[in-house]
Structure 1
Amino acid sequence: MRYLPICDRVRLSRRDVGGPPDAVCTVATEFDDCGQSAVNESAPDIFLSYSRGDEVQARKLIAFLQNEGFTVWWDGMLEAGTVFTRTTERALEQAGAVLVLWTATSVQSNWVRDEAQSGRDRGVLVPISLDGSLPPLGFRQFQSVDLSGWRGSSDAPEIRNVRAAVSRLVDRELSSPSAPASAKPPQLSDRAYRSEPKSKPTRFLAAGLAAILALTAGIFAVTRTANTSDVDSSSLAILPFENLSGDANKAYFSTGLSEELRQVLSQGGYLQVAARTSTEEAAQNTNAVEVAALLQVRYLLDGSVRQDGGKVRFSVQLIDGETGFDIWSEVYERPLDDIFAVQSDIAEQVARALKLQLGEDTALASREGGTDSPAALDAYLRGKALYDLSRDEATFRAAQRQFEAAVKADPDYGAAWAMLSRTQTLIASSYPSDVPLAQSYAVAVETARRAVETAPDLAAAQAALGFVLFNGRLDATSAREPMEQANRLGQNDADILQLYASYAARTGDFEAATKAIERAIRRDPLNAVALRTQADILATQGDFAKARSAAAEALRLNPDMRVVHRILGDMFYHEGQFAKARQEYEKEGSKLSRFTALAMTLPRLGDKEGGERNFRELQREYGLNGLYQQAQVFAQTGRTTEALDALEQAYTVNDSGLVLLRHDPMFKGLRKQPRFVALLRRMGFSTPDVTGQSRR
């Protein structure tokens, strides 16, 4: 590229770009003696930004674009550094598309970065990699078309993809196909969030998020009828937003905003939104088409967030999962303190779009159970990030403090009350405390009731109440209504569906359990925990073949997944294949499961001493927290009285293992015992007859 002094007269002809010598570019620059310019008043289709060392390749691209009928501005920077001429600024601001040629050289150029930023801010950026180089930080959330292998052919798939991207932006219908099936999709950029530790409805919706929602709703409505793919045309995955704040400690904010958006878009059921766990797993790929195929979705929503002082800037793009190209992209910047001031105006735009496309009864402008307090939202997102780490007691207690801060800042924040209750329940059931367990569960119940009171239509609130009543209070009857409500409200939430499936199976409704877990897996196909739950439900019903298949898939996704080897071992155990059961149990990562299983199995293989050794380890390591498992060992070693004593004591201390009691085959020999039947009734369980069917 030539760099020109301000007062030179320049006229670019097609000779400069390999075209006929008598043809003159539509956009030509004339500088008068004082630096003012005269320019063709029509805006160019394309502004091309590149570096001096890439001129040869740039000329080839310019020739192709002009031969396709596009007008190209390509002499856009001056040697003066950061000073742009008025003509350059005008062309940059008016161009329908800004093509940026990234190379190892151009990523170092301040000029190229400035022009790329202009295109990004206007939502018209088309990034291209000439040598396979990644864009610089700040631009990696936009897919770059890889032209490193292009040799000038106008029929090459990659150059046709460039043409397709530009034609969409300049709203031009061209005669030949814009994206042939053989076209190689662009790559998703390397994402900063991949180095972060993996983790896990709201009045709050920042103006930018509301605008994204409005645009998304409109685009889905327009494209729904045109899609002929087997994938649901209303299916979407929201990739974890990249943290561009320059501070790894702020990753919670970018991840949290993408999760908030996922919750909003999941409401109402008009979009099929992939769950977070599978989305994060699939996003390890850099190819947009591959990610969409893994998740079985038509569209991807990608983005980045930069939090700087009192301002938030986030960039988003909606990507067609079939081609890998952007459908639209936008950049939003809002002051944290003023972000809700513009919300009502944006909400009106959303409402108009939804009335036009989806009908007046669809309300998606806000998340159920959310907040309009920036401080409350920030505390909630911090708490959620800590909770999702699932690291240790200190981490969970830190999460609890953040949720407490969130509800203090906004006492009507239903989602925060729900997460506070879940955290209180988890801490009470997992870690010793000077506070009596019953008292800790009572606090968690009251917190969950507050969540339901403030947000009765929030699935997570109903689930939190059902969870603590069942797993904490051991009251299956009281848990039924909130669990059923959670299932009804959470049909698009894989976590809620999985929780309900476990409850339904443990209370004997295997039809509902099967339906819920299958729906959860469709929403979250790469979630090993969901597959483990499915394996457990199938094994409990005696369908060992399907259970083994689900367990194998769970281990394929996560070879270190706990409890799966216990499930596999249990099936061999009940088939009388004790040697194979032992092999599985010895692989089990959960010590609680391993000690219990080996204490039952080794005596059947003639190693009574080994069984006793594992039983002593179980008692020493877990004490009263392992009473349910001790009862299993007693039952399987012929000590019926000791087993019943341990079960009754487990109920006294609120041992959550008892939720498994109704269908646990380890207690098959005790099911006719009056003490066993009485305990089931005390917990609100129906009692199974000898065939395993429910008596109500």
Structure 2
Amino acid sequence: MAGLDAAGEARHAPRPKLFLSYTRADIEQAGKLREILEARGFEVWWDQLLEGGVNYLPTTEAALEGADCVVVLWTRLSVDSSWVRDEAQRGRERGCLVPVTLDGTMSPLGFRQIQILDMSEWSGASDAPEIAKLVKAINGQVAASQGDNGKAAPTIAPGAGSPVAAASAHKGLSRRALMTAGAGVLGAGAVIAAWQQGLFDIGEGDGSLSMAVLRFANLTGGEDQVWFSDGLSNELRQALSRNPRLRVSAPTSSNASQGEDDFAVGLALGVTSILRGNVQQVDQTVRIYAELLEVDGGLVQWSESYDRDFSDVLAVQKEIAETVALSLVARIASDRAARSSVEQQDDVGGTENVRAFEAYLRGQSLYALGSGEEVKRSALDQFDAAIGFDPEYAAAHARRANTLAAIANTASDPAEVGRLFARSIEAAERAIEIAPDYAQGHLALGYVLNFGKIDRAGAYPHYKRAEELAPGDADTMRSIATFYAFGNQQALAMQMIERVLELDPLNALAFRSAGFVALFAGAFDQAIAYMEKALELNPSLANSFYAIGVARLSLGDLGGARAAFEAEAIDLFALPGLAITRRKLGDDAGANEAFTALLADYGDTGLYQQAQVLAQWGENERALEVLTRAFDAGDPGVLLTTNDPLLDPLRTEPGLDRLLLRLSS
């Protein structure tokens, strides 16, 4: 009887209201659509008297503001109509716009972040596929607009195999049916409440769903406020990436196509859902809007607006992450599995102090600029401020360690370098002491021990622990794969980097890392392919041509190797390659010229590169002498010694074995 009562309530619920925006020249097609949508259960408002240049009539404005969904019909004529643009603008502002193109015309600038429904091939039939897609899109917006106010979006009677029909064949509600049949667009509280009350009940499942967290728009105004909107979206991404049921695209790829259509970005990333939103801060009030959408079809799966005091921003962030995860995991897993997956999102290493969080986000924004010691020291000041607000903020200690190591890498005074690395180790150890299960703390300590102290043995357990703690974080896995590739775990490194590329397919740095992993695994053709992809994404990416040169040299392509080294922008890597290839091609004078330039320009900071050249020239004894000096000086280049193809002529030398023992001891 309960099901019958619900059906009766749906029949007598007010019909969802649509506002149809069009230009008078398209009235014939607009009229057909209105008739079809009315027949599908919508109340469609339109105005056949609209003329360009006339102010909004009160009735028109009331209809626009009261609509559950605004459907705009774009054509080559309507894009120039101030009426249509104004109405579409209001629909976009209210978050209830469904754009349609009747003749293939693109949405005008300012509206292209919303996927447009192409009806240019529509036959005019009421049962055409375009109509089904339109109804689906409208239902999604109606559900998002109405929330829990009692109205039900009209639905087409389900067929025998549809999720709704399947749900009705069982007692209660299946979670899959609830989330995919239109009832899935719930407010945050409704989703969490349904989950907690056990309304979702399907099998355990062992799958995962793919998604991307796009960069949240900054509506506060001014580039100096982007740190907060960017930081919020990055923190949400981090939380969701900890959910074992979700495959979350990495930040670089998710932000790679700013200005392009969001759905095009989703397609390029190969994900099924995108989370996007905007952030506005006015004094101490934060307004956050977030929505989760299907990439295929643009259906709104969930949306919510939050107006909170700034002190509540951490709670809002947690609520959004939990709700999004439940909205997605609900499709593939049981109540127990969903609960478990969301619990694994719980923040590790975080803070409850909003001022500490604010300083941390400012520091993250500065650190990401990646330009010069001064900026890095400004970032360090912010992380120090965060720790001042909350001394137990493990994430801030870990980022402090990263920043100190980055500053050390730019310093020239050996004593200062040593002090900076020592402080970096201290900060990373403090992060781990506070939060032993914080992956970034272990990664920070592993990095500084490996690159700062040339202590692979000491670094290994921390890289391994980070791998266990953050298997869904592409940036973390990229660092770990590179570390493994430098040692004796090339096969594992290759597996990991392939996973990284799945999560980060638009990141040139990810492909460059993959190129080096393949190079050190002896997969030279694959290394070239990865590096060429990296250069396609970023033509000025340093070291990429160098790696191509080494790979081509290893394959016996001397001319191709020389061309690659000539294209390398960083002389520290170009000059050794040129010295090697020119000598092998019979140009002794050119080879000596390149080697002399390497010595003059870099001196002892290029000891490792000198050893590479000498090994390839066949001067093994001299190469081992210089390589030993590089080890004694703590040259980070020596970390490549185990698998560097350029040192292969030394593999049978006992002296090399003794040096390799120093890396593993």
TM class by shorter chain equals 0.7 to 0.9
Report percent identity of matched pairs.
34
Query: Does residue 361 of structure 2 align to residue 381 of structure 1?
Result: yes
Query: How far off its partner does 1:45 sit?
Result: 1.0
Map of 2:6 onto structure 1: none
Query: Does residue 314 of structure 2 align to residue 314 of structure 1?
Result: no
Task: Give the letter for the 1:167 counterpart.
Answer: N
Query: Does residue 340 of structure 2 align to residue 368 of structure 1?
Result: no
Map of 1:301 onto structure 2: 275
8 Å CA contact 2:515–2:547 kept in 1: the answer is: yes
Task: Give the letter for the 1:336 counterpart.
Answer: F
Gap change, CA 1:376 and 1:142, over 3 Å in 2: farther
Q: Distance in 2 between matches of 1:387 and 1:606?
A: 46
> What is the count of residue pairs matched by the alignment?
603
Task: Give the letter for the 1:492 counterpart.
Answer: G
8 Å CA contact 1:44–1:72 kept in 2: the answer is: no
Gap change, CA 1:614 and 1:136, over 3 Å in 2: closer
350, 358, 361: which one aligns with 2:337: 358
Query: How far off its partner does 1:81 sit?
Result: 7.8
Query: Does residue 223 of structure 2 align to residue 248 of structure 1?
Result: yes
Q: Distance in 2 between matches of 1:251 and 1:105?
A: 33
8 Å CA contact 2:614–2:623 kept in 1: the answer is: yes
* Long gaps (5+) in structure 2: 1-11, 144-151, 160-185
Task: Give the letter for the 1:381 counterpart.
Answer: L
Taking the TM superposition and a 5 Å limit, the aligned residue runs for 1:572-583 are 572-583=552-563
Gap change, CA 1:42 and 1:432, over 3 Å in 2: same
Task: Give the letter for the 1:559 counterpart.
Answer: P
Task: Give the letter for the 1:249 counterpart.
Answer: D
TM-score (norm 2): 0.78
Partner-residue secondary structure (3-state), 1:330: strand
- Judging by fraction of residues, say which structure has more helix: 2
Query: How far off its partner does 1:157 sit?
Result: 4.6
What's the Cα RMSD here?
Answer: 4.2
**Cα deviation digits, residues 139-182 of structure 1 (max 9, x gap):** 765444456786855355544422222334343221489xxxxx
* Long gaps (5+) in structure 1: 1-40, 178-207, 686-696
Partner-residue secondary structure (3-state), 1:313: strand
Partner-residue secondary structure (3-state), 1:339: helix
**Cα deviation digits, residues 46-87 of structure 1 (max 9, x gap):** 1416488689365554333213232234579999989968x9
Gap change, CA 1:660 and 1:233, over 3 Å in 2: closer
Taking the TM superposition and a 5 Å limit, the aligned residue runs for 1:179-194 are none
Query: Does residue 299 of structure 2 align to residue 328 of structure 1?
Result: no
Task: Give the letter for the 1:172 counterpart.
Answer: P
**Cα deviation digits, residues 253-306 of structure 1 (max 9, x gap):** 222221111111111311111222222336665262x44443222212222222
Q: Distance in 2 between matches of 1:55 and 1:257?
A: 43
**Cα deviation digits, residues 335-371 of structure 1 (max 9, x gap):** 2134357789989989999994635434156432222
Taking the TM superposition and a 5 Å limit, the aligned residue runs for 1:23-102 are 43-48=14-19, 50=21, 56=27, 59-74=31-46, 92=65, 96-99=68-71
Q: Distance in 1 between matches of 2:299 and 2:494?
A: 37
Q: Distance in 2 between matches of 1:406 and 1:658?
A: 36
594, 597, 600: which one aligns with 1:620: 600
Map of 2:370 onto structure 1: 390
Q: Distance in 2 between matches of 1:371 and 1:216?
A: 28
Partner-residue secondary structure (3-state), 1:482: helix
Query: Does residue 484 of structure 2 align to residue 513 of structure 1?
Result: no
Q: Distance in 1 between matches of 2:137 and 2:193?
A: 18
**Cα deviation digits, residues 617-638 of structure 1 (max 9, x gap):** 3233333322211222233334
8 Å CA contact 1:240–1:255 kept in 2: the answer is: yes
Gap change, CA 1:275 and 1:116, over 3 Å in 2: closer
8 Å CA contact 2:72–2:84 kept in 1: the answer is: no
Gap change, CA 1:558 and 1:80, over 3 Å in 2: closer
Q: Distance in 2 between matches of 1:237 and 1:349?
A: 15
Q: Distance in 2 between matches of 1:442 and 1:564?
A: 31
Query: Does residue 142 of structure 2 align to residue 171 of structure 1?
Result: no
8 Å CA contact 2:401–2:444 kept in 1: the answer is: yes
Q: Distance in 2 between matches of 1:348 and 1:532?
A: 34
Taking the TM superposition and a 5 Å limit, the aligned residue runs for 1:233-244 are 234-244=209-219
Gap change, CA 1:141 and 1:222, over 3 Å in 2: farther
Task: Give the letter for the 1:314 counterpart.
Answer: I
8 Å CA contact 1:107–1:113 kept in 2: the answer is: no
Task: Give the letter for the 2:216 counterpart.
Answer: F
8 Å CA contact 1:141–1:304 kept in 2: the answer is: no
Taking the TM superposition and a 5 Å limit, the aligned residue runs for 1:154-553 are 154-155=126-127, 157-168=129-140, 169=143, 170-175=152-157, 234-281=209-256, 285-286=260-261, 288=263, 290-340=264-314, 356=335, 358-362=337-341, 363-364=343-344, 366-433=346-413, 435-553=415-533
Q: Distance in 1 between matches of 2:201 and 2:64?
A: 32
Query: How far off its partner does 1:98 sit?
Result: 4.7
Taking the TM superposition and a 5 Å limit, the aligned residue runs for 1:608-687 are 608-671=588-651, 673-684=653-664
Gap change, CA 1:513 and 1:341, over 3 Å in 2: closer
Q: Distance in 2 between matches of 1:148 and 1:217?
A: 41
8 Å CA contact 1:600–1:633 kept in 2: the answer is: yes
